[in-house]
Structure 1
């Protein structure tokens, strides 16, 4: 889950005392650094030992003199920056190169040039299609949920990292990418030629179920999702909606302010969520008195994370609705993003969040009010691939909504 932040513009100043001045110069004086930018960077001599400084300098010199290829100083600096973020031991605190930062920002905003699919790395290690967006080039080319990408433009990518494969699939608008996919129902690889274009992810969809029970699925909390949620609520209301099922299964989260806005539409005057930073400073988010006056059921599963859990926790703790499904993922941390001057970026965990009852669900998740397991054959199937008539969790949600309306 992410909060918007102003660009990171403050530079780190030279603060070392006399005892570590030689260290400060040796660490970052690469290839005449001081001739170009005299201020340099050092560390507080009270927090960094001379041994650590010496070791850093020794490793750099060994790499420069002994590595079998020429070593670029800028590459070493990039690695050191990435290492600083990694040293936090927090999977959500990361440094992104320029290219990867652009991909990350596009993923959050929901607009990018590509083929129009949502993917994840499955347990077999292969990049697997979870969603195919309506009206997308992928849809037109015949890509199906469950397809596994094994080649991109003739190159085997079965052992490549997820980010690397996604970058290969994306590209310039109007250009073509060739995919070879493994489809569980087919014995041979399927070759697909797809023309890239600008995609606006459809991260929300809705429909009317039986007995005028509305259904809204939020796939991801992108930067505009609250506006689209309200549009879908208004549309369903005009069609006579009497109860609402909100589906955040398989939803990995997204923007903090967007889920707060959505919760505000549903809840009476109450606490939605609060955050706490390392100094124990708390920030509360409240809803106003206006609320959606009808039964609300929220569908959750083990892939409902972060912003999804804020919504689920607010609904449950304020007794505004019923949670149905399985325990949520358990991500109770908030990240802030910082744009760096060369186009790269940093994502940093800055706060923990707490549900209205004061629980931080990090590593714990939220238990549903009513646990419902899917049929075993669908346990590892993306929600979008489960036929409605076989979706036991949705059936239970519909049953509960109808029961509440009969009271």
Structure 2
């Protein structure tokens, strides 16, 4: 079975779990008996080999067939096949369990997708994995788009520049680029509503929407002139970084997620900040629900000179996640902004920097420090399993506890990057003082 190891975003993981639980028969087609057999076997293999909590094999197989029988009854089959008797020989017992699910799919073909999905979820529950999930084909496609950093929008990133909402990045070939929007252009209106009093996050929410829908913009070109534009939303990758100089020598970098190529985006942003004269940095990880752990390790590496980023535990074995050389490295003082929704991969970065002397400002982080591996299954289905747990480079536990900020500053997340962003104000004061005193983090 092919395997793709990624570390999933907390918010995407929770959303997918809610979707699959609420609509177990949605987004799928009928499942043939051969496909049912393959899905059970591939899921069993993944759980048997990689699940963070090793399964009791007989318990796992009993749960598999019992759930199939119950799903048949729920589908209106009054006389489901009798449960197989397991004999303690793993290969034969697995064959018997898979054959039973095959028979269930055949007995209720119109409900076969729901039956198989219910069985696979029961197998995950048997190893007590709250973030494990089963994806039907269309769900799996959408999930991979999220991991690639794709959103249904117009392919831009925005920020506040001199008090105005401006485009800071435009995706090559995306809807915005095709109508000539460029970095530095100022957004005045979206769908007839002014954006001047909105935060960047609020504006991005308005630019996102369903595939094929239209958003009307009023834009002031950086070169002069105001234009009205109509753009059709489509799946497009968006740069997850926002960076700028907030005052001489003091830079600001906001990171929204850890999707594919995020580390390259961050490295380019760090290069831009260094070229602009930044010698101290505000790294904003607020509302960052995480993403790919490999990208988080690479991002953290851009702020560390050597050594390790974090420690990863798999079934009792502890392994170091080492620093990966980056094109640009920031070695000056760093203050990291965090809040209750700073989670998963973003906690890896925040923890690594705090362990090397960076100051954390804001609120205690979420406390999600487990690794999920994604398995493509037969027929376009997918499986997500929790396969590891990680700790900071100094061995501090994050999972269930979060990271405690060095300076606690409670604030409503709706105020992020607004004029009333007191967390940003306090973090800036801390960094300004460190810069003046020649103190702060030195990796």
| More moved, 198-207 vs 57-66 | 57-66
C-alpha RMSD of the superposition: 4.2
Q: Is 1:284 aligned to residue 320 of structure 2?
A: yes
Distance in 2, Cα, partners of 1:86 & 1:328: 27
Q: Are residues 232 and 269 of structure 1, via their aligned partners in 2, closer, same or farther at CA, if it must alter by over 3 Å?
A: same
Q: CA deviation at 1:239?
A: 1.4
The 5 Å alignment of 1:144-155 reads none
2:112 is matched with 73
Q: Is 1:317 aligned to residue 355 of structure 2?
A: yes
1:127 is matched with none
Distance in 2, Cα, partners of 1:58 & 1:348: 24
2:18 is matched with none
Query: Is contact 1:269-1:287 (8 Å) kept?
Result: yes
Query: Is contact 1:249-1:299 (8 Å) kept?
Result: yes
Which of 70, 80, 84 matches 2:123?
Answer: 84
Distance in 2, Cα, partners of 1:206 & 1:31: 48
Q: CA deviation at 1:79?
A: 2.3
2:378 is matched with 341
Which of 321, 332, 336 matches 1:294?
Answer: 332
Where 1:351 maps in the other structure, the secondary structure is strand
Query: Is contact 1:274-1:354 (8 Å) kept?
Result: yes
Distance in 2, Cα, partners of 1:110 & 1:71: 35
2:137 is matched with 98
Deviation string 1:126-145 (CA, Å, 9 cap, x unpaired) is xxxxxx99767797435775
Q: CA deviation at 1:292?
A: 2.6
Q: CA deviation at 1:76?
A: 1.4
Q: Are residues 86 and 383 of structure 1, via their aligned partners in 2, closer, same or farther at CA, if it must alter by over 3 Å?
A: farther
- Report how many aligned residue pairs link the two structures: 326
Specify which structure has the bigger relative contact order, considering alpha-carbon pairs within 8 angstroms and separated by 6 or more residues: 2
1:259 is matched with 296
The 5 Å alignment of 1:159-198 reads 169-171=209-211, 175-176=212-213, 195-198=232-235
Distance in 2, Cα, partners of 1:289 & 1:330: 27
Query: Is contact 2:341-2:365 (8 Å) kept?
Result: yes
2:101 is matched with none
Which of 415, 427, 432 matches 1:402?
Answer: 432
Q: Are residues 49 and 178 of structure 1, via their aligned partners in 2, closer, same or farther at CA, if it must alter by over 3 Å?
A: closer
Q: Are residues 142 and 203 of structure 1, via their aligned partners in 2, closer, same or farther at CA, if it must alter by over 3 Å?
A: farther
Question: 5+ residue gaps in structure 1?
Answer: 7-29, 119-131, 150-165, 180-192
Distance in 1, Cα, partners of 2:333 & 2:276: 16
Where 2:380 maps in the other structure, the secondary structure is coil
Deviation string 1:75-134 (CA, Å, 9 cap, x unpaired) is 31232123323444433211111111111111111124446699xxxxxxxxxxxxx997
Q: Is 1:5 aligned to residue 42 of structure 2?
A: no
2:26 is matched with none
Distance in 2, Cα, partners of 1:70 & 1:198: 33
TM-score w.r.t. length of structure 2: 0.63
Where 2:396 maps in the other structure, the secondary structure is coil
Q: CA deviation at 1:65?
A: 2.6
Distance in 1, Cα, partners of 2:31 & 2:135: 24
| More moved, 83-92 vs 205-214 | 83-92
Distance in 2, Cα, partners of 1:31 & 1:331: 34
Distance in 1, Cα, partners of 2:145 & 2:314: 27
The 5 Å alignment of 1:33-52 reads 33=33, 47-48=58-59
Where 1:47 maps in the other structure, the secondary structure is helix
| More moved, 282-291 vs 241-250 | 282-291
Where 1:285 maps in the other structure, the secondary structure is strand
Which of 363, 367, 386 matches 1:330?
Answer: 367
1:305 is matched with 343
Q: CA deviation at 1:392?
A: 1.4
Q: CA deviation at 1:270?
A: 2.7
Query: Is contact 1:250-1:382 (8 Å) kept?
Result: no
Distance in 1, Cα, partners of 2:252 & 2:113: 52
Deviation string 1:226-263 (CA, Å, 9 cap, x unpaired) is 11111111111111112111000010011111111121
Q: CA deviation at 1:55?
A: 4.6
Q: Are residues 404 and 348 of structure 1, via their aligned partners in 2, closer, same or farther at CA, if it must alter by over 3 Å?
A: same
1:141 is matched with 191
TM-score w.r.t. length of structure 1: 0.68
Distance in 1, Cα, partners of 2:168 & 2:138: 24
2:102 is matched with none
Distance in 2, Cα, partners of 1:352 & 1:393: 30
Distance in 1, Cα, partners of 2:119 & 2:271: 51
